[in-house]
Structure 1
Amino acid sequence: MTQPGYGQASQNRFDDLAAVVPDVRGQTWLKVRVYINNKEVDLPLADGSLLSDRIFRSRDHTYRSSSFSNWPGASVDVANTRSEAEVGACEETYQALRRYATTHAAGAQRVEFEFTAVNGTCNPCKERIERLRERIKPLFPNAQVTRGERSRVTARANYSAASPASAVPGRGGLTTYGFAPGQAELRVSAPAVAAGLTGRQALYYQGILSDQSGSGLVDPQHLSQIPDHAGPARTDRSSPSGSLRTPSPTSSDPGNPWQWSERDGTYISRTADQREWAMDPAERRPVPRETFDQRYPYGYQNQAGPSSTTQGQGQGQGQGQRQRRS
């Protein structure tokens, strides 16, 4: 029998994206997969079913008392979204991994889990997934980078590429679904191509939450500053073992993650070679930082420059509009 030219992880994403269509009541459906040392682990749940078979749904009040529903120090958005599908998904994933770690913790060098839904993860659920990641770290002490203290516990969020933008507004502009470019990768589904799908039907986004990625939170008021996701899309072709490795960006690609700069009025990022990039809101695409500074010497939100009354205020404290560069 001929083996496909892609790994099981690629097939899982394709299958899960097809399975998470919203039902007639408008619920969000969500699936979770866990990979230990680049191989999928089918974790049993308390009721005997498997985590990978479960579809979590929003408006499910079963998990309203979960520690992933709300917790001290969480944002107001978290408190207002206690029935999201991610609440149950995080709770069951954590409990399943806690049981698994009692006998397998020592051998786990890398722990990765993927959440798949039609829409990109909303801001409060990014907080939940990050909380899950932080709670999982102590369970697997050997999941550490060889040098340094960065953990190899990574979360990925796969979602539909039906929209050309990787981040879109949600719930009346009160939150944001998805990730900003630089923290979300546009990818080609190898199984979708093999099945004859073309165009955006063969694409999906993958957002990443890790020690290196940042929070993934996107302020709704900054959405207009974020360009549509630029291509080209990268293939999710994986090794037969189901590896989740993704090609590293080239030195000419904007870095990861994008950080909002009040001073510049846009998102700023940096490549591995320390070169800075900036989102040009007028063109809705990233440009080199030096190009942005030439176009908007006082920042995008204040193209006319500082007034005589404000020019001398706040600059000593690092506040206000930046001075024009010579």
Structure 2
Amino acid sequence: MTLAGPKPILAGRRALPQQVGVYVFVFLPLAALVAAVPLAAVVGFLGWSDVLIGAVFYVACCLGITVGYHRYFTHGSFKATRGLKIALAMAGSFAMQGPVIKWVADHRRHHAFSDKEGDPHSPWLFGTSTRALAKGFWHAHTGWLFDRDLTNEERFTPDLLQDTDLRRIDSLFGLWSALTLLLPALLGGLVTWSWWGALTALFWAGLVRVALLHHVTWSINSICHMWGERPFAARDRSANVWWLAIFSMGESWHNLHHADPTCARHGVQKGQVDLSAVTIRLFERLGWAREVRWPTTRRLERLARE
């Protein structure tokens, strides 16, 4: 498929081994998440160290996606030092949501064709009937991941392809995916000084944590394009969903983001907690981030719906 633009939006099809990898990355953590419900009741299978290690990895990986993959690499909401750039790319890779360049290419394509033909994960591509919306929700939340068509990185991410650091990190995605499971297990083993502690940490702080972050992130594609408040004028169906704000580190203030994609803060109204913006502010004060695109009153007034 090609749409208006300098190059086609697609660049071939995913190879069979890659496609198998997608199924493993989606369903293995999901299976652990389903099993977590009965296993949580098993005495000794969930300890304080599992919760603590899982929470630390969740926050680090979530910020790697929200601050790194999304606000920095995709939208250029700020400029970063080389050290911060590398750290954010690695932290995002630990979320096991895809290599950095591919993730950014897909997301830039989403913004270029948001909720229209060409959007890789809009829930509105099949119609507005109950059945069509159910199909659209599944597609936006998870189903689009199994599409073997590849977004053209040369069209959507020429800047990232020229960055040697990012190409190297992108090429080592398999290593980061292994480490995001093995490091929690190692820490769990060291904290409890037991193989059992390593096993439970692998399960809770590794697989279950990855699954939770997967579905929080994918909820921005599905839920935040179907339901919620729309106080700002955007060209699509993006909406704010307040109860996802903490878990998504502010990403679920999605309406302002689509109205002003390069803005470093998504939660701009009173009471809208945006932990990703707080983190960017910290980076700015430490001198690691500069030229941050903070919202201005004048711009927000212009974007607000009448």
| TM-score normalized with structure 2 length | 0.28
Q: Which has the higher strand share?
A: 1
Q: Which has the higher Rg, Structure 1 or Structure 2?
A: 1
Q: Which has the higher helix share?
A: 2
More RCO (CA 8 Å, sep 6+): 2
